A = this chain, B = another copy of it.
Amino acid sequence: MTVATKSGQVKSRISIDGIARLAGVSKSTVSNTFSGRKFVNPEVRERIQEVAARMGYRPHYAAKVLATRKTMMIGVLVSELYNPNTSAIVQSFEQALLRRKYKMLLGLTYGSRERGIEYLEQFGTGMVDGIITTLPEVPFREAVRSSGTIPLMVWCSVAAGSPAILDHEAGINCALEHLWELGHRRIGMISLSSCVNVGPVSSESYVRFMNRKGMPVDESLLVGGDSHAQSGYQLGSVLWQRGATAIFARNDLMGFGVLKWAREAGVRVPEDLSVVGADDNPMATLVAPPLTTIQMPVDQLTELTVRGLIDQIEGRPPRQQELIIPRLIVRESTGPVSHP
């Protein structure tokens, strides 16, 4: 094909035939020297490479894909990048993928189911070799349906037989136990309202914990947030008014929000109020005070899901699902209850 550039000259992207002709060999030989799949006489190989370099030849991606049925791309779907933890996940995926020579096609949906479906359908046209979705708003079965026959992995989903899942209940116990030991008895929790795919709901774990401690549960201490700082900011105030001496936010961003509210309201953390988050968000050390949190071992989780996906793409049998146990990271936002 020839392309006219604005400068008026005509640049023609040279193809494998051109190189073959110029080097006086056949297409297959050129193909072989580039793919390295077959041995090519060093002399001719060099000649070919020389010509290719001179002409600025690059094997055309789509043509290769069409012939080999391999795109070496993976579609990754997340809601948005506003949460630094999500960015960390995306970044970690990119690394895990690149290690295996795959590239990442990133789709953001901003919580829109429609957009998610749209992306899945497009990915399903053979745009990618596999898909990873973290979308809470589109359940596994539907994701599979929209994407067609492409291998698909859903992030930390209980339902989908994903290769790795986080033991949320263990994480919750971990946080609650920490607070309990510091003497807190009125512990507020801000859970994530919209979390499909994630297994048992946080509040159930909370109730179980309190039962185990022989403690009656005050339902008014259990509220649902939308994952953004803003909702921590609002709910922090609510929970404080209801007499909480500690707040467990189910993600760090909301934890940041309660920290911000506390600061403005003049309640001291951790002297007056303890707060723990969850994620181990990259920013958790930068807020004031640095946030105690339940760690999410991002790299481990992404590595396992990518490995699982590639296994599936390459036809290997699925491995045992791994249950990742989160750990507590104590920083400065938690301390003993003050007894007035």
Which residues 301-318 in A have Cβ within 8 Å of B in the complex?
A: 315, 317
Contact status B82-A148, CB under 8 Å: no
Shortest CB distance A199–B (Å): 26
Which residues 68-95 in A have Cβ within 8 Å of B in the complex?
A: 69, 71, 73, 80-82, 84, 87-88, 90-91, 94-95
* A205 interface residue (CB < 8 Å to B): no
* A103 interface residue (CB < 8 Å to B): yes
Assembled-state Cα–Cα distance A107/B98 (Å): 9
Shortest CB distance A319–B (Å): 13
Contact status A108-B94, CB under 8 Å: yes
* A3 interface residue (CB < 8 Å to B): yes
Residue ID in chain B nearest A71 by CB atoms: B62
Assembled-state Cα–Cα distance A323/B34 (Å): 45
Our pick among B81, B121, B288 for the contact of A87 (Cβ within 8 Å) is: B81
Contact status A61-B11, CB under 8 Å: no
Assembled-state Cα–Cα distance A62/B286 (Å): 45
**Chain B residues whose CB sits within 8 angstroms of the CB of A103 once the complex forms:** 105, 107, 122, 127
Contact status B61-A127, CB under 8 Å: yes
Contact status A283-B108, CB under 8 Å: no
- Assuming the contacts A149-B3, A149-B11, A282-B82, asked whether A125 and B288 have C-beta atoms less than 8 A apart, the reply is no
- Assuming the contacts A81-B87, A282-B82, A283-B286, asked whether A94 and B71 have C-beta atoms less than 8 A apart, the reply is no
Q: A81-B81, A94-B106 known; 16 other A-B pairs, CB under 8 Å?
A: A6-B315, A58-B148, A62-B62, A63-B66, A73-B105, A82-B87, A82-B91, A84-B84, A84-B87, A94-B107, A94-B108, A95-B108, A256-B283, A256-B286, A257-B286, A260-B286
